[in-house]
Structure 1
């Protein structure tokens, strides 16, 4: 079963950490990724830019209308994801708990119910 582990970041919480702890989180990312890649469970992962870099597209009367910046103002935002294929939801929860910044950021786990077939 495929699961999307979405990283919901609160930049204030991350920025509130000591520099040494932030560095430790970043250093732990490589070994974490290597571990779940070696098991064959990691299908893909992407980190997203700050929402200030986003654009919102809405179609009005058949014409795309583009607005710069985030869709909504909030303290938390989608910072990235891991796409995993695992035997059970429990394993997806276990992997989410292994993410080095899971003690700072929320990891939302959602089953994938449709896939385009395009390899990530």
Structure 2
């Protein structure tokens, strides 16, 4: 699983919310083209962009089982902006893909060099 995190500070004052429409379109086009390449290689399982942090909620069950919601969390320094689930041959390949995604174009077309967190999706334990 590749996770794209975005800094919350500046999200609306310096982040994608301030980009020119053509920069946003170029960024989205990069992501869609990249996903097409991953599909063609057979490595793509799923990818999704997520709603902004202003819509995030943390939900816990109360003692009676009903939902208790909290959020959004203004103190968060970053948030999960999107993710990919990929099926690759090993760490070298997933790191190569993460580096390519990190270079997605941002404001003015400049590469973002954004951090991409890589985590292995674990399989279920064997059943006796």
Q: Could you tell me the TM-score, scaled by structure 2's length?
A: 0.72
- 1:59-111 CA distances to partner (integer Å, 9 max, x unpaired)? 23233343253357313101110000100111001111121257343210001
Query: Is 1:56 aligned to residue 58 of structure 2?
Result: yes
Hey, what's the Cα distance between the residues in 2 that align with 1:18 and 1:104? 16
Partner of 1:118: none
Any conservation in 2 of the 1:55–1:66 contact (CA below 8 Å)? no
CA RMSD after TM alignment = 2.5
- Counting matched residue pairs gives 112
Gaps of 5+ in 1: 116-120
Rg larger in 1 or in 2?
Answer: 2
Gaps of 5+ in 2: 106-110
| Larger RCO: 1 or 2 (CA < 8 Å, sep 6+) | 1
Query: Is 1:14 aligned to residue 11 of structure 2?
Result: no
* Structure 1 residues 57 and 16: alpha-carbon distance in aligned structure 2, compared to 1, 3 A threshold: closer
